[in-house]
Structure 1
Amino acid sequence: MDFNLPDTALAVQDGVRAVAAKYDNAYWSECEEAHRFPIEIFTDLGKGGWLGLNVPEQYGGGGQGLLEVAIANETLCASGGGAGTFFYVTTPGFGATTLVRHGTEEQKQAILPGIAVGDIQFCFALTEPNAGSNAIEITTSARRDGDDFLIKGQKVWISNVENADWMVAVTRTIPAAEATPRYNGFTLLLVDVKEALAAGTLSYTPIPKMGNNILCSSQVFFEDVRVPAHNVIGDIDGGFPVLWDVLNPERIIAAAGAIGAADAALAYAAKYATEREVFGRPIGANQGIQFPLAQVKAKVELARLMTRKAAWLFDQGLPCGNEANVAKLTGSQVAWEAADQAFQTLGGMAYSKEYPVERWMRDARIVKNAPVAEQLILAHIGTSMLNLPKSY
């Protein structure tokens, strides 16, 4: 049992850290306040190959695994850009992982080289107003029209559609009420976002939100969006296994980003507690300040171990659903706890936007709900790991 990171992951850590060092907390805060996509750091990451880590070498990528993608995201977020998790969830996660594992050779050749250098971005359209974690109930339909499919329906909380070149759209080609079993009838389709927007068949409305404003989360409307049949990912009517194969990496990447965000908050709090003096000594010398930070640090290290284990299992082709869910649960919890404790350490100054702590708190809060809410993860752990009766 070897807990050392492989040389590939260490190289990723060094490379992403070097890029991220050029972009300080003020940069991320400016992008957040302006609701502006951090195109400068995204471009630098793409040029360095850090967004194409899990793209096979024959398509211009790094030929590495989910572990390296997770390490890249953890490192980026540890630099202070917690919302940068979306870089790795939307494109290396939803884009590269899906196509590498389930795409056709034609799809891979057309898209993966662009992902590898940061020229192509992705979004993923699953959640609907009446179907969130209960994906079985989605109603967005894709009906056959000659050699094409026509998508009709609505999605919500779709992140990065405004920047995306391609979308993985989760549709039903058999309504849930008619499918036997009910998870049958799913079809995943590659949508050319810019083409559909230009045609007027795809539209989106950004949702005002409290944090993570470096990119939009939107309501998305499909009005007979035309997609060629050769853009099906996996099998027609048989896309449910593909969907779940995408969701585990999403949870692992999100957990890694949450851990990086926790690292950033703890490092900032510890530095402040070392420098800030009250009653003639650093406040960090007081156990009332030191112990809560130490408690969160211990939880961060535990979450880090589970996240890396989950990524390693995925890369080995082994079942990783339990580990991915535990990683997501613990990672999101420590991100929030670290931000909250950093806020408490800085006292009233943390409320000021002069400091990044209030931004980290806003960014960290959503990770407890998305992707997948804590309650659903706990239900999974209860039934799948403890063999308790199903609660939903």
Structure 2
Amino acid sequence: MSSPRQGWSCVWKAWRQSSVGSFKTLPYRQTRTLHAQTQEYLQSNQPDFTESQRTVRESIAKICSKYPDEYWLEKDNSKEFPTDLHADFARDGWLGICIPEKYGGAALGISEAAVMMQTVSECGGGMTAASSIHMNIFGLEPVVKFGTEEQKQRWLTPLVGGTERACFGVTEPNTGLDTLKLQSMATPDGDGNYILNGSKIWTSTAQIAQKILILVRTTPLNKVDKPSRGLSLFYTDLDRSKVQVTRIPKLGRAAVDSNVLFFENWKVNAADRIGKEGDGFKMIMHGMNAERILVAAEALGLGYAALRRASKYATERVVFERPIGQNQGIQHPLADSWVQLESARLMVYLAARMYDQGFETGEYANAAKYLASEAAFTACERAVLAHGGMGYAKEYHVERYLREAMLPRLAPVSKEMILNYIGERVLQLPKSY
């Protein structure tokens, strides 16, 4: 099976029976042998995966096999967006894995999407590969849940088909993670439009996107009874005659652009507002847990890719007449990283299954993102160290992995804010900030 447009009825049936219902895992290679050989490229013999998750893993692995590490090194050097990977995913229908079938999607769950994003990252593409399609998976969740039928037809179908790309504008230079203090304003002009003024930062793919999902204030902060009110959500054309897009030079993930947006007197039609005016923050929160789970899965993939390269190098590299992997100083850190990654993986897919069942998964989604990002960074760092001096060379790829492993530690939420959330919501401790 190569795409969700070929035989999804079978996958859908299996998913309904196993992922959303009883979560029974179908019998699969029930032997006493190891199921997760680290040196195997994109192995799919996970006994805890459902049939649909395995189908996704195997299908995505076939696509990703066309894009080896050398491809991603070239994209990193040239800072060129991987349009061919994006086109492959659009052609086979994978960009709509979580979007309803009537709009061209596959209507699968975050459990399947997480497998897809882990696999995309694990192929060696890391956060670059994942970020090139990331927005499609969770970004328009507010449209799916709160958009009108006309909006869904107008927006979801071209996104799934790959004819339009979208970016996401929430964070602002002066507010950072304090989303409720956003300063960008949208003011009605009396003719059925809003006039937007303000700025955004760390908006990915704005260099190549045609559309933007943007959160702005429609009521000033000093005129609302709660800070979470007065924010409105729009999905609209990225009008480059009114929006200045400036690329940010950065540490890693060079092929997928990050940008500062500055906009002045930008006219947006009221028909592009999602839901009621002032309810934007409530709507944007519906996609946050899904995003944390997917970022965690992407970090996992990067960690496994690093571990695969490190263990292979440690097997092949001979110093003092013995492979360096025979030395416990090399072997034990890599083994410890496998334990950390597998532990994080179990949390990631627990959070994904709970999300698909309709649970409020904030604590698990945040914990999964925390564990996966830390485990991935450690695995990437150890991969560089295991390579010795050659770990510093681009041709061995692990230095690129390490640079990209910083990203999930910082975004979309820092580990400190995750610990604040757990402290308040799970431990019921006083707010610390």
TM-score, normalized by the shorter chain, greater than 0.5:
yes
2:210 alignment counterpart = 165
Could you tell me whether the CA contact under 8 Å between 1:90 and 1:160 is conserved in 2? no
Could you tell me whether the CA contact under 8 Å between 1:183 and 1:240 is conserved in 2? yes
Unaligned runs of 5+ in 1: none
Distance (Å, rounded) in 2 between the aligned partners of 1:184 and 1:270: 51
Cα deviation code 1:303-345 (max 9, x no counterpart): 1111112222222221011111101111111111111000010
Greater mean alpha carbon deviation, residues 1-10 or residues 221-230? 1-10
Could you tell me whether the CA contact under 8 Å between 1:190 and 1:227 is conserved in 2? no
Q: 2:197 aligns with which of 145, 152, 155?
A: 152
Cα deviation code 1:355-384 (max 9, x no counterpart): 111111111112111111111111111111
Could you tell me whether the CA contact under 8 Å between 2:207 and 2:257 is conserved in 1? yes
2:264 alignment counterpart = 223
2:295 alignment counterpart = 254
Give the Å deviation of 1:234: 2.2
Structure 1 counterpart of 2:417, which letter? L
Distance (Å, rounded) in 2 between the aligned partners of 1:89 and 1:250: 9
Q: 1:68 aligns with which of 112, 116, 141?
A: 112
Distance (Å, rounded) in 2 between the aligned partners of 1:220 and 1:278: 51
Matched, 1:37 2:78: no
1:143 alignment counterpart = 187
Q: 1:201-240 residue pairs with structure 2 within 5 A?
A: 201-240=242-281
Q: SS at the partner of 2:207?
A: coil
Q: 1:1-392 residue pairs with structure 2 within 5 A?
A: 2=24, 4-82=48-126, 83-95=128-140, 97-145=141-189, 146-193=191-238, 196-197=239-240, 200-392=241-433
Give the Å deviation of 1:102: 2.0
Distance (Å, rounded) in 2 between the aligned partners of 1:2 and 1:176: 48
Distance (Å, rounded) in 2 between the aligned partners of 1:148 and 1:61: 31
Cα deviation code 1:201-227 (max 9, x no counterpart): 111111111111112111001112211
Distance (Å, rounded) in 2 between the aligned partners of 1:15 and 1:308: 19
Could you tell me whether the CA contact under 8 Å between 1:52 and 1:118 is conserved in 2? no
Q: SS at the partner of 2:174?
A: coil
Distance (Å, rounded) in 1 between the aligned partners of 2:350 and 2:162: 27
Q: SS at the partner of 1:81?
A: helix
Give the Å deviation of 1:28: 0.2
Distance (Å, rounded) in 1 between the aligned partners of 2:137 and 2:275: 18
The share of aligned pairs that are identical, in percent, is 38
Give the Å deviation of 1:89: 2.6
Structure 1 counterpart of 2:340, which letter? K
Give the Å deviation of 1:353: 1.2
Could you tell me whether the CA contact under 8 Å between 2:136 and 2:160 is conserved in 1? no
Could you tell me whether the CA contact under 8 Å between 1:252 and 1:324 is conserved in 2? yes
Unaligned runs of 5+ in 2: 1-22, 26-47
Give the Å deviation of 1:117: 2.5
Structure 2 counterpart of 1:25, which letter? D
Structure 1 counterpart of 2:151, which letter? Q
Greater mean alpha carbon deviation, residues 30-39 or residues 170-179? 170-179
Distance (Å, rounded) in 2 between the aligned partners of 1:387 and 1:242: 25
Could you tell me whether the CA contact under 8 Å between 1:157 and 1:218 is conserved in 2? yes
Greater mean alpha carbon deviation, residues 4-13 or residues 376-385? 4-13
Distance (Å, rounded) in 2 between the aligned partners of 1:35 and 1:388: 45
Cα deviation code 1:23-44 (max 9, x no counterpart): 1101001001100001111111
Distance (Å, rounded) in 2 between the aligned partners of 1:12 and 1:138: 38
Q: SS at the partner of 1:80?
A: helix
Structure 1 counterpart of 2:336, which letter? Q
Q: SS at the partner of 2:227?
A: coil
Aligned in 2, Cα 1:7/1:118: closer, same or farther, shift over 3 Å? farther
Structure 2 counterpart of 1:165, which letter? Q
Structure 1 counterpart of 2:338, which letter? K
Structure 2 counterpart of 1:22, which letter? K
Q: SS at the partner of 2:278?
A: coil
Structure 2 counterpart of 1:124, which letter? F
Distance (Å, rounded) in 2 between the aligned partners of 1:354 and 1:120: 34
Distance (Å, rounded) in 2 between the aligned partners of 1:89 and 1:39: 14
Could you tell me whether the CA contact under 8 Å between 1:67 and 1:308 is conserved in 2? yes
- Aligned residue-pair number: 387
Structure 1 counterpart of 2:409, which letter? K
Distance (Å, rounded) in 2 between the aligned partners of 1:277 and 1:35: 35
Give the Å deviation of 1:291: 0.8
Distance (Å, rounded) in 2 between the aligned partners of 1:231 and 1:7: 39
